[in-house]
A and B are shown apart, each in its own frame.
Chain A
Amino acid sequence: MSRYVPSAELAGRVVNGEVYAIARLISRAEAGLTEARAALAGLYARAGRAHVIGITGVPGSGKSTLVSTLAARLRTGGSKVGIIAIDPSSPYSGGSILGDRIRMTDLVNDPGIYIRSMATRGAMGGMARATMDAVDILDAGGFDTIVIETVGVGQDEVEIARASDTTVVVSAPGLGDEIQAIKAGMLEIADVHVVSKCDRSDANRTLTDLKQMLTLGALTADRPDWQVPVLGISSYTGSGFDELIDALTRHRAVALHTESGRRRRVAIAGFRLAKTAENLLLERFARASSELTPDFAERLVRHEGDPYSLANELVAASFGKEDP
Protein backbone atom coordinates (compact mmCIF):
# COMPACT_ATOMS: atom_id res chain seq x y z
CA MET A 1 0.00 0.00 0.00
CA SER A 2 1.08 3.52 -0.70
CA ARG A 3 2.00 6.16 1.84
CA TYR A 4 -0.62 8.72 2.93
CA VAL A 5 0.84 12.06 1.88
CA PRO A 6 0.01 14.64 4.56
CA SER A 7 -1.95 17.64 3.29
CA ALA A 8 0.73 20.02 4.55
CA GLU A 9 3.23 18.33 2.24
CA LEU A 10 0.76 18.46 -0.65
CA ALA A 11 0.25 22.19 -0.08
CA GLY A 12 3.98 22.79 -0.54
CA ARG A 13 3.89 20.91 -3.80
CA VAL A 14 0.74 22.79 -4.90
CA VAL A 15 2.69 26.03 -4.69
CA ASN A 16 5.23 24.52 -7.09
CA GLY A 17 2.38 23.86 -9.50
CA GLU A 18 2.54 20.07 -9.20
CA VAL A 19 -0.59 18.62 -10.80
CA TYR A 20 -0.76 15.49 -8.67
CA ALA A 21 -0.68 17.53 -5.47
CA ILE A 22 -3.27 20.01 -6.74
CA ALA A 23 -5.58 17.17 -7.72
CA ARG A 24 -5.24 15.27 -4.46
CA LEU A 25 -5.71 18.34 -2.29
CA ILE A 26 -8.88 19.25 -4.21
CA SER A 27 -10.20 15.76 -3.42
CA ARG A 28 -9.47 16.27 0.26
CA ALA A 29 -11.10 19.71 0.24
CA GLU A 30 -14.13 18.18 -1.45
CA ALA A 31 -14.31 15.50 1.22
CA GLY A 32 -14.11 18.21 3.86
CA LEU A 33 -11.23 16.43 5.59
CA THR A 34 -10.30 18.11 8.84
CA GLU A 35 -6.70 17.07 8.27
CA ALA A 36 -6.62 19.32 5.18
CA ARG A 37 -7.94 22.47 6.82
CA ALA A 38 -4.63 23.94 7.95
CA ALA A 39 -3.11 23.30 4.53
CA LEU A 40 -6.05 25.01 2.84
CA ALA A 41 -5.76 27.94 5.21
CA GLY A 42 -2.12 28.34 4.23
CA LEU A 43 -3.00 28.29 0.55
CA TYR A 44 -5.78 30.82 1.03
CA ALA A 45 -3.17 33.25 2.25
CA ARG A 46 -1.34 32.88 -1.08
CA ALA A 47 -4.43 32.97 -3.29
CA GLY A 48 -6.30 35.99 -4.60
CA ARG A 49 -4.45 36.73 -7.80
CA ALA A 50 -6.43 34.70 -10.32
CA HIS A 51 -9.30 35.99 -12.42
CA VAL A 52 -12.27 33.76 -11.60
CA ILE A 53 -14.79 33.48 -14.41
CA GLY A 54 -18.14 31.76 -13.97
CA ILE A 55 -19.85 30.35 -17.04
CA THR A 56 -23.45 29.31 -16.78
CA GLY A 57 -26.40 28.67 -19.09
CA VAL A 58 -29.03 26.07 -19.78
CA PRO A 59 -28.03 22.46 -20.56
CA GLY A 60 -26.61 22.04 -24.03
CA SER A 61 -26.04 25.75 -24.67
CA GLY A 62 -22.41 25.13 -25.58
CA LYS A 63 -20.68 26.06 -22.31
CA SER A 64 -18.03 23.32 -22.31
CA THR A 65 -17.13 23.86 -25.95
CA LEU A 66 -16.86 27.57 -25.26
CA VAL A 67 -14.64 26.96 -22.25
CA SER A 68 -12.40 24.75 -24.35
CA THR A 69 -11.96 27.36 -27.08
CA LEU A 70 -11.59 30.17 -24.54
CA ALA A 71 -8.92 28.29 -22.61
CA ALA A 72 -6.96 27.58 -25.78
CA ARG A 73 -7.08 31.29 -26.68
CA LEU A 74 -6.00 32.37 -23.22
CA ARG A 75 -3.10 29.94 -23.42
CA THR A 76 -1.74 31.60 -26.55
CA GLY A 77 -1.63 34.76 -24.44
CA GLY A 78 0.51 32.88 -21.91
CA SER A 79 -2.05 32.43 -19.09
CA LYS A 80 -2.29 29.21 -17.18
CA VAL A 81 -5.94 28.17 -17.09
CA GLY A 82 -7.72 26.06 -14.47
CA ILE A 83 -11.16 24.71 -15.29
CA ILE A 84 -13.72 23.42 -12.80
CA ALA A 85 -16.65 21.77 -14.56
CA ILE A 86 -19.66 21.04 -12.39
CA ASP A 87 -22.40 18.60 -13.31
CA PRO A 88 -25.42 17.51 -11.28
CA SER A 89 -25.39 14.37 -9.15
CA SER A 90 -28.21 11.94 -9.65
CA PRO A 91 -30.83 12.57 -6.96
CA TYR A 92 -31.49 8.82 -6.89
CA SER A 93 -28.06 7.28 -6.50
CA GLY A 94 -25.90 10.26 -5.55
CA GLY A 95 -23.59 9.27 -8.40
CA SER A 96 -22.98 11.23 -11.56
CA ILE A 97 -21.73 11.17 -15.10
CA LEU A 98 -19.39 14.12 -15.49
CA GLY A 99 -19.59 14.85 -19.19
CA ASP A 100 -18.04 18.27 -19.69
CA ARG A 101 -14.49 17.07 -20.06
CA ILE A 102 -15.25 15.18 -23.24
CA ARG A 103 -15.72 18.55 -24.99
CA MET A 104 -12.30 19.68 -23.84
CA THR A 105 -10.13 16.86 -25.17
CA ASP A 106 -7.98 19.24 -27.23
CA LEU A 107 -6.61 20.71 -24.01
CA VAL A 108 -5.47 17.58 -22.23
CA ASN A 109 -1.87 17.52 -23.41
CA ASP A 110 -1.20 21.11 -22.38
CA PRO A 111 0.49 21.27 -18.96
CA GLY A 112 -0.70 24.88 -18.63
CA ILE A 113 -4.27 23.69 -18.38
CA TYR A 114 -5.87 21.83 -15.52
CA ILE A 115 -9.40 20.42 -15.80
CA ARG A 116 -11.35 19.11 -12.86
CA SER A 117 -14.87 17.68 -12.98
CA MET A 118 -17.06 17.97 -9.90
CA ALA A 119 -20.52 16.74 -9.00
CA THR A 120 -23.08 18.82 -7.13
CA ARG A 121 -23.78 16.19 -4.44
CA GLY A 122 -27.19 17.70 -3.75
CA ALA A 123 -27.84 20.59 -1.44
CA MET A 124 -26.02 19.01 1.51
CA GLY A 125 -22.85 18.21 -0.34
CA GLY A 126 -21.06 21.49 0.28
CA MET A 127 -20.43 22.06 -3.40
CA ALA A 128 -20.05 25.80 -3.00
CA ARG A 129 -17.44 25.38 -0.27
CA ALA A 130 -15.55 22.72 -2.21
CA THR A 131 -15.60 24.72 -5.43
CA MET A 132 -14.15 27.78 -3.79
CA ASP A 133 -11.51 25.72 -2.02
CA ALA A 134 -10.58 24.28 -5.42
CA VAL A 135 -10.33 27.82 -6.82
CA ASP A 136 -7.89 28.77 -4.04
CA ILE A 137 -5.79 25.67 -4.62
CA LEU A 138 -5.50 26.44 -8.33
CA ASP A 139 -4.88 30.10 -7.62
CA ALA A 140 -2.07 29.28 -5.19
CA GLY A 141 -0.79 26.76 -7.75
CA GLY A 142 -0.14 29.56 -10.22
CA PHE A 143 -3.20 29.45 -12.44
CA ASP A 144 -3.94 32.93 -13.77
CA THR A 145 -7.48 32.33 -14.94
CA ILE A 146 -9.94 29.93 -13.37
CA VAL A 147 -13.11 29.08 -15.22
CA ILE A 148 -16.05 27.48 -13.42
CA GLU A 149 -18.70 25.88 -15.62
CA THR A 150 -22.05 25.26 -13.95
CA VAL A 151 -25.36 24.19 -15.36
CA GLY A 152 -27.91 26.91 -14.84
CA VAL A 153 -30.64 24.78 -13.36
CA GLY A 154 -30.27 24.66 -9.59
CA GLN A 155 -29.90 27.51 -7.14
CA ASP A 156 -26.49 26.44 -5.86
CA GLU A 157 -25.09 26.06 -9.33
CA VAL A 158 -26.16 29.54 -10.30
CA GLU A 159 -24.77 30.93 -7.06
CA ILE A 160 -21.39 29.47 -7.88
CA ALA A 161 -21.36 31.38 -11.11
CA ARG A 162 -22.40 34.47 -9.21
CA ALA A 163 -19.52 34.03 -6.79
CA SER A 164 -16.99 34.67 -9.58
CA ASP A 165 -15.26 37.92 -10.49
CA THR A 166 -16.93 37.82 -13.86
CA THR A 167 -20.07 35.89 -14.78
CA VAL A 168 -20.83 34.87 -18.34
CA VAL A 169 -24.34 33.66 -19.20
CA VAL A 170 -24.56 31.57 -22.35
CA SER A 171 -27.68 31.39 -24.47
CA ALA A 172 -27.96 29.35 -27.64
CA PRO A 173 -30.18 29.12 -30.68
CA GLY A 174 -32.30 26.09 -31.36
CA LEU A 175 -33.04 24.92 -27.84
CA GLY A 176 -36.76 25.51 -28.18
CA ASP A 177 -37.57 28.60 -26.18
CA GLU A 178 -35.58 31.42 -27.76
CA ILE A 179 -34.37 33.06 -24.56
CA GLN A 180 -34.04 30.14 -22.22
CA ALA A 181 -32.07 32.10 -19.68
CA ILE A 182 -35.15 33.99 -18.52
CA LYS A 183 -36.74 30.86 -17.19
CA ALA A 184 -33.90 30.05 -14.89
CA GLY A 185 -33.71 33.65 -13.75
CA MET A 186 -30.16 33.92 -14.99
CA LEU A 187 -30.30 37.09 -17.02
CA GLU A 188 -29.65 39.44 -14.16
CA ILE A 189 -26.48 37.71 -12.98
CA ALA A 190 -24.66 38.21 -16.30
CA ASP A 191 -21.69 40.53 -16.55
CA VAL A 192 -21.30 39.33 -20.11
CA HIS A 193 -23.96 37.76 -22.28
CA VAL A 194 -22.90 35.32 -24.92
CA VAL A 195 -25.01 33.84 -27.65
CA SER A 196 -23.19 30.70 -28.72
CA LYS A 197 -23.29 28.70 -31.95
CA CYS A 198 -23.33 31.82 -34.12
CA ASP A 199 -22.20 29.71 -37.04
CA ARG A 200 -25.88 28.74 -37.24
CA SER A 201 -28.30 30.89 -39.19
CA ASP A 202 -30.91 30.93 -36.41
CA ALA A 203 -28.46 32.53 -33.97
CA ASN A 204 -29.25 36.04 -35.21
CA ARG A 205 -32.78 35.69 -33.97
CA THR A 206 -31.54 34.70 -30.50
CA LEU A 207 -29.15 37.68 -30.47
CA THR A 208 -31.91 40.10 -31.43
CA ASP A 209 -34.36 38.67 -28.92
CA LEU A 210 -31.82 38.77 -26.13
CA LYS A 211 -30.82 42.38 -26.88
CA GLN A 212 -34.47 43.34 -26.94
CA MET A 213 -35.11 41.71 -23.58
CA LEU A 214 -32.16 43.54 -22.11
CA THR A 215 -33.19 46.97 -23.40
CA LEU A 216 -36.44 46.48 -21.51
CA GLY A 217 -34.09 46.97 -18.61
CA ALA A 218 -35.93 45.20 -15.88
CA LEU A 219 -33.69 42.18 -16.02
CA THR A 220 -30.27 43.70 -15.46
CA ALA A 221 -29.08 44.33 -11.95
CA ASP A 222 -27.63 47.70 -11.15
CA ARG A 223 -24.05 47.93 -12.46
CA PRO A 224 -22.73 51.41 -11.98
CA ASP A 225 -19.41 51.00 -13.77
CA TRP A 226 -20.25 48.46 -16.39
CA GLN A 227 -22.29 48.10 -19.57
CA VAL A 228 -23.24 44.42 -19.96
CA PRO A 229 -22.21 43.41 -23.49
CA VAL A 230 -24.09 40.92 -25.65
CA LEU A 231 -21.66 38.96 -27.79
CA GLY A 232 -22.23 36.43 -30.52
CA ILE A 233 -19.61 33.69 -30.66
CA SER A 234 -18.95 30.41 -32.38
CA SER A 235 -16.72 27.90 -30.66
CA TYR A 236 -16.45 26.05 -33.96
CA THR A 237 -15.11 28.93 -36.06
CA GLY A 238 -13.62 30.93 -33.20
CA SER A 239 -15.53 34.07 -34.18
CA GLY A 240 -16.34 36.47 -31.35
CA PHE A 241 -13.63 35.20 -29.00
CA ASP A 242 -11.42 38.29 -29.38
CA GLU A 243 -14.40 40.38 -28.28
CA LEU A 244 -15.16 37.97 -25.43
CA ILE A 245 -11.60 38.07 -24.10
CA ASP A 246 -11.60 41.85 -24.40
CA ALA A 247 -14.85 42.06 -22.41
CA LEU A 248 -13.49 39.71 -19.73
CA THR A 249 -10.32 41.77 -19.42
CA ARG A 250 -12.22 45.05 -19.18
CA HIS A 251 -14.62 43.63 -16.61
CA ARG A 252 -11.75 42.43 -14.54
CA ALA A 253 -10.31 45.92 -14.45
CA VAL A 254 -13.66 47.22 -13.20
CA ALA A 255 -13.78 44.49 -10.57
CA LEU A 256 -10.30 45.37 -9.34
CA HIS A 257 -10.31 49.14 -9.48
CA THR A 258 -13.78 50.43 -8.65
CA GLU A 259 -15.85 50.78 -5.51
CA SER A 260 -18.62 48.66 -7.06
CA GLY A 261 -16.02 45.96 -7.70
CA ARG A 262 -14.93 46.10 -4.10
CA ARG A 263 -18.51 45.79 -2.88
CA ARG A 264 -18.94 42.77 -5.05
CA ARG A 265 -15.86 41.11 -3.61
CA VAL A 266 -17.29 41.67 -0.16
CA ALA A 267 -20.60 40.14 -1.26
CA ILE A 268 -18.77 37.10 -2.66
CA ALA A 269 -16.80 36.73 0.56
CA GLY A 270 -20.07 36.94 2.51
CA PHE A 271 -21.59 34.20 0.37
CA ARG A 272 -18.55 32.04 0.92
CA LEU A 273 -18.56 32.58 4.67
CA ALA A 274 -22.27 31.79 4.86
CA LYS A 275 -21.86 28.59 2.83
CA THR A 276 -18.88 27.46 4.86
CA ALA A 277 -20.67 28.19 8.12
CA GLU A 278 -23.76 26.35 6.87
CA ASN A 279 -21.62 23.31 6.20
CA LEU A 280 -20.00 23.50 9.61
CA LEU A 281 -23.40 23.72 11.27
CA LEU A 282 -24.75 20.83 9.24
CA GLU A 283 -21.75 18.68 10.12
CA ARG A 284 -21.98 19.57 13.78
CA PHE A 285 -25.69 18.94 13.86
CA ALA A 286 -25.36 15.64 12.03
CA ARG A 287 -22.74 14.49 14.53
CA ALA A 288 -24.56 15.71 17.61
CA SER A 289 -28.06 14.59 16.60
CA SER A 290 -27.38 11.13 15.18
CA GLU A 291 -27.95 9.33 18.49
CA LEU A 292 -30.94 11.45 19.48
CA THR A 293 -32.88 11.41 16.22
CA PRO A 294 -34.33 7.85 16.45
CA ASP A 295 -35.97 8.59 19.82
CA PHE A 296 -37.43 11.81 18.53
CA ALA A 297 -38.74 9.98 15.48
CA GLU A 298 -40.46 7.42 17.75
CA ARG A 299 -42.09 10.24 19.65
CA LEU A 300 -43.25 11.87 16.44
CA VAL A 301 -44.80 8.60 15.26
CA ARG A 302 -46.65 8.36 18.59
CA HIS A 303 -47.85 11.94 18.09
CA GLU A 304 -46.25 13.05 21.31
CA GLY A 305 -45.49 16.33 19.65
CA ASP A 306 -45.65 18.01 16.26
CA PRO A 307 -42.74 18.01 13.79
CA TYR A 308 -41.84 21.64 14.42
CA SER A 309 -41.67 21.48 18.22
CA LEU A 310 -39.86 18.14 18.23
CA ALA A 311 -37.34 19.37 15.66
CA ASN A 312 -36.82 22.47 17.77
CA GLU A 313 -36.26 20.29 20.81
CA LEU A 314 -33.89 18.05 18.83
CA VAL A 315 -31.83 21.04 17.75
CA ALA A 316 -31.76 22.34 21.30
CA ALA A 317 -30.77 18.95 22.69
CA SER A 318 -28.05 18.56 20.04
CA PHE A 319 -26.50 21.99 20.48
CA GLY A 320 -27.30 22.26 24.16
CA LYS A 321 -29.41 25.39 24.08
CA GLU A 322 -32.91 26.63 23.24
CA ASP A 323 -33.73 28.58 20.12
CA PRO A 324 -34.76 31.98 21.53
Chain B
Amino acid sequence: MAQPIRVLLAKVGLDGHDRGVRVVARTLRDAGMDVIYSGLHRTPEEVVSAAIQEDVDILGVSLLSGVQLTVFPKIFKLLGDKGVNDMIIVAGGVMPDDDVVALKAMGVHEVMLQDTPPDAIVSTLTRLVTERGQR
Protein backbone atom coordinates (compact mmCIF):
# COMPACT_ATOMS: atom_id res chain seq x y z
CA MET B 1 0.00 0.00 0.00
CA ALA B 2 1.37 3.44 -0.91
CA GLN B 3 2.06 5.57 2.15
CA PRO B 4 0.61 9.07 2.30
CA ILE B 5 3.21 11.79 1.80
CA ARG B 6 4.20 13.24 5.18
CA VAL B 7 4.61 17.00 5.42
CA LEU B 8 5.65 19.29 8.27
CA LEU B 9 4.45 22.85 7.80
CA ALA B 10 6.41 25.27 9.91
CA LYS B 11 6.21 28.95 10.66
CA VAL B 12 9.52 30.51 11.55
CA GLY B 13 10.05 34.04 12.73
CA LEU B 14 8.04 36.78 14.28
CA ASP B 15 5.02 37.17 12.07
CA GLY B 16 1.82 36.04 13.70
CA HIS B 17 -0.24 35.06 10.69
CA ASP B 18 -0.95 31.46 9.99
CA ARG B 19 -4.17 31.58 8.03
CA GLY B 20 -2.31 30.82 4.83
CA VAL B 21 -0.50 27.83 6.33
CA ARG B 22 -3.74 26.46 7.69
CA VAL B 23 -5.36 26.67 4.28
CA VAL B 24 -2.40 24.87 2.73
CA ALA B 25 -2.62 22.22 5.47
CA ARG B 26 -6.24 21.48 4.58
CA THR B 27 -5.45 21.43 0.87
CA LEU B 28 -2.71 18.87 1.41
CA ARG B 29 -4.88 16.74 3.67
CA ASP B 30 -7.62 16.78 1.05
CA ALA B 31 -5.05 15.61 -1.47
CA GLY B 32 -4.38 12.59 0.76
CA MET B 33 -1.26 13.76 2.59
CA ASP B 34 -0.50 13.56 6.32
CA VAL B 35 0.16 17.07 7.54
CA ILE B 36 1.78 18.16 10.78
CA TYR B 37 1.69 21.83 11.67
CA SER B 38 4.38 23.26 13.95
CA GLY B 39 2.54 26.29 15.26
CA LEU B 40 3.78 29.88 15.13
CA HIS B 41 7.14 31.40 16.02
CA ARG B 42 9.29 28.31 15.80
CA THR B 43 13.07 28.45 15.77
CA PRO B 44 15.04 26.63 13.05
CA GLU B 45 16.27 24.21 15.78
CA GLU B 46 12.71 23.33 16.78
CA VAL B 47 11.60 22.90 13.20
CA VAL B 48 14.47 20.61 12.31
CA SER B 49 14.03 18.48 15.45
CA ALA B 50 10.34 18.07 14.73
CA ALA B 51 10.95 17.25 11.08
CA ILE B 52 13.48 14.55 11.96
CA GLN B 53 11.34 13.02 14.71
CA GLU B 54 8.37 12.94 12.39
CA ASP B 55 10.47 11.65 9.50
CA VAL B 56 8.62 13.84 7.05
CA ASP B 57 9.12 13.62 3.32
CA ILE B 58 8.76 17.36 3.02
CA LEU B 59 9.59 20.25 5.31
CA GLY B 60 7.65 23.32 4.24
CA VAL B 61 8.71 26.56 5.87
CA SER B 62 6.49 29.57 5.53
CA LEU B 63 7.80 33.06 6.18
CA LEU B 64 6.40 36.51 5.73
CA SER B 65 8.91 38.41 7.73
CA GLY B 66 11.86 38.58 5.35
CA VAL B 67 14.15 36.36 7.40
CA GLN B 68 14.50 33.63 4.76
CA LEU B 69 18.13 34.28 3.96
CA THR B 70 19.15 33.66 7.56
CA VAL B 71 16.66 30.90 8.36
CA PHE B 72 17.37 28.47 5.53
CA PRO B 73 21.14 28.30 5.95
CA LYS B 74 20.53 27.42 9.59
CA ILE B 75 18.06 24.71 8.61
CA PHE B 76 20.48 23.14 6.14
CA LYS B 77 23.31 23.32 8.66
CA LEU B 78 21.20 21.61 11.36
CA LEU B 79 20.01 18.89 8.98
CA GLY B 80 23.57 18.32 7.80
CA ASP B 81 24.83 18.05 11.40
CA LYS B 82 22.27 15.29 11.99
CA GLY B 83 23.25 13.51 8.78
CA VAL B 84 19.88 14.05 7.10
CA ASN B 85 20.27 14.43 3.35
CA ASP B 86 17.02 13.13 1.90
CA MET B 87 14.48 15.63 3.20
CA ILE B 88 12.73 17.81 0.65
CA ILE B 89 12.83 21.46 1.68
CA VAL B 90 10.24 23.87 0.37
CA ALA B 91 9.74 27.56 1.11
CA GLY B 92 6.50 29.48 1.01
CA GLY B 93 5.32 33.01 1.60
CA VAL B 94 6.23 36.40 0.25
CA MET B 95 9.70 37.36 -0.90
CA PRO B 96 11.55 39.21 -3.66
CA ASP B 97 12.72 37.33 -6.79
CA ASP B 98 16.37 37.69 -5.83
CA ASP B 99 15.69 35.77 -2.64
CA VAL B 100 13.99 32.98 -4.57
CA VAL B 101 17.11 32.59 -6.67
CA ALA B 102 19.31 32.66 -3.57
CA LEU B 103 17.23 30.04 -1.78
CA LYS B 104 17.29 27.67 -4.72
CA ALA B 105 21.04 28.07 -4.95
CA MET B 106 21.19 27.10 -1.27
CA GLY B 107 19.36 23.85 -1.93
CA VAL B 108 15.71 24.72 -1.34
CA HIS B 109 13.86 22.44 -3.74
CA GLU B 110 11.01 24.77 -4.55
CA VAL B 111 9.75 28.19 -3.55
CA MET B 112 6.01 28.71 -3.64
CA LEU B 113 4.96 32.31 -3.36
CA GLN B 114 1.77 33.34 -1.66
CA ASP B 115 -0.40 33.29 -4.80
CA THR B 116 0.49 29.71 -5.84
CA PRO B 117 -2.78 27.89 -6.59
CA PRO B 118 -3.57 24.87 -4.36
CA ASP B 119 -3.43 22.41 -7.27
CA ALA B 120 0.06 23.58 -8.16
CA ILE B 121 1.25 23.12 -4.57
CA VAL B 122 -0.10 19.57 -4.51
CA SER B 123 1.36 18.61 -7.88
CA THR B 124 4.75 20.15 -7.09
CA LEU B 125 5.07 18.33 -3.78
CA THR B 126 3.93 15.05 -5.31
CA ARG B 127 6.48 15.42 -8.10
CA LEU B 128 9.31 16.18 -5.69
CA VAL B 129 8.56 13.04 -3.67
CA THR B 130 8.33 10.91 -6.81
CA GLU B 131 11.66 12.27 -8.03
CA ARG B 132 13.29 11.51 -4.71
CA GLY B 133 12.22 7.86 -4.89
CA GLN B 134 12.20 5.34 -2.08
CA ARG B 135 13.99 6.17 1.14
User: Given the interface contacts A31-B3, A101-B50, A109-B46, does A94 sit within 8 Å of B32 by beta carbon?
Assistant: yes
> At the interface, yes or no: B118 with Cβ under 8 Å from chain A?
no
Complex CA gap A125/B4 in Å reads 11
Residue pair B3, A30 in contact (C-beta under 8 Å): yes
Segment from B52-60, B64-72, B101-109 that makes contact with A: B52-60
> At the interface, yes or no: A19 with Cβ under 8 Å from chain B?
yes
Residue pair A20, B32 in contact (C-beta under 8 Å): no
Using a CB–CB cutoff of 8 Å, the interface residues on chain B facing chain A are: 1, 3-4, 6, 25-26, 28-39, 42, 45-46, 49-50, 52-55, 82-86, 132-135
Residue pair B84, A20 in contact (C-beta under 8 Å): yes
For B42, what are the chain A residues with a Cβ–Cβ distance below 8 Å? 105
In the assembled complex, the CB of B115 is this many whole angstroms from the nearest CB of chain A, namely 23
In the assembled complex, the CB of A110 is this many whole angstroms from the nearest CB of chain B, namely 9
5 more CB-based (< 8 A) A-B contacts, given A23-B52, A90-B30, A98-B36: A20-B83, A93-B29, A95-B33, A97-B36, A105-B46
For A125, what are the chain B residues with a Cβ–Cβ distance below 8 Å? 1
Residue pair A98, B35 in contact (C-beta under 8 Å): yes
Complex A-B: 22 CB contacts under 8 Å:
A2-B86, A2-B135, A20-B84, A24-B135, A27-B6, A27-B55, A31-B1, A89-B34, A93-B31, A95-B28, A95-B33, A95-B34, A97-B37, A101-B36, A101-B37, A102-B39, A105-B39, A109-B49, A115-B54, A117-B34, A117-B36, A119-B4
Complex CA gap A96/B25 in Å reads 9
Residue pair A2, B36 in contact (C-beta under 8 Å): no
Complex CA gap A117/B132 in Å reads 23
Complex CA gap A99/B21 in Å reads 13
Interface residues of A in 16-32 (CB under 8 A from B): 19-20, 23-24, 26-27, 30-32
Interface centre among B30, B54, B133, B134 (most CB of A within 10 A): B54
User: Given the interface contacts A27-B3, A31-B3, A108-B46, does A95 sit within 8 Å of B55 by beta carbon?
Assistant: no
Interface size on A, residues (CB 8 A): 33
> At the interface, yes or no: A116 with Cβ under 8 Å from chain B?
yes
User: Given the interface contacts A27-B3, A32-B1, A95-B28, does A19 sit within 8 Å of B52 by beta carbon?
Assistant: yes
For B35, what are the chain A residues with a Cβ–Cβ distance below 8 Å? 95-98
Residue pair A116, B54 in contact (C-beta under 8 Å): yes
Residue pair B55, A23 in contact (C-beta under 8 Å): yes
For B86, what are the chain A residues with a Cβ–Cβ distance below 8 Å? 1-2
Complex CA gap A27/B49 in Å reads 16
Residue pair B54, A90 in contact (C-beta under 8 Å): no
Complex CA gap A108/B53 in Å reads 9
Residue pair A119, B55 in contact (C-beta under 8 Å): no
Complex CA gap A27/B46 in Å reads 21
Nearest A residue to B37 by beta-carbon distance? A102
User: Given the interface contacts A1-B132, A2-B135, does A95 sit within 8 Å of B4 by beta carbon?
Assistant: yes
In the assembled complex, the CB of B34 is this many whole angstroms from the nearest CB of chain A, namely 5
For A93, what are the chain B residues with a Cβ–Cβ distance below 8 Å? 29-32
> At the interface, yes or no: A308 with Cβ under 8 Å from chain B?
no
Over the window 219-261 of chain A, the binary record of Cβ atoms lying under 8 Å from chain B Cβ atoms (1 yes, 0 no) is 0000000000000000000000000000000000000000000
For A116, what are the chain B residues with a Cβ–Cβ distance below 8 Å? 53-54
Over the window 110-122 of chain A, the binary record of Cβ atoms lying under 8 Å from chain B Cβ atoms (1 yes, 0 no) is 0000111101000
In the assembled complex, the CB of A67 is this many whole angstroms from the nearest CB of chain B, namely 15
User: Given the interface contacts A4-B135, A109-B46, does A95 sit within 8 Å of B52 by beta carbon?
Assistant: no
For B30, what are the chain A residues with a Cβ–Cβ distance below 8 Å? 90, 92-93, 95
Which one of A23, A26, A92, A96 lies within 8 Å of B34 (CB-CB)? A96
For A1, what are the chain B residues with a Cβ–Cβ distance below 8 Å? 86, 132-133
Nearest B residue to A100 by beta-carbon distance? B36
Over the window 11-48 of chain A, the binary record of Cβ atoms lying under 8 Å from chain B Cβ atoms (1 yes, 0 no) is 00000000110011011001110000000000000000
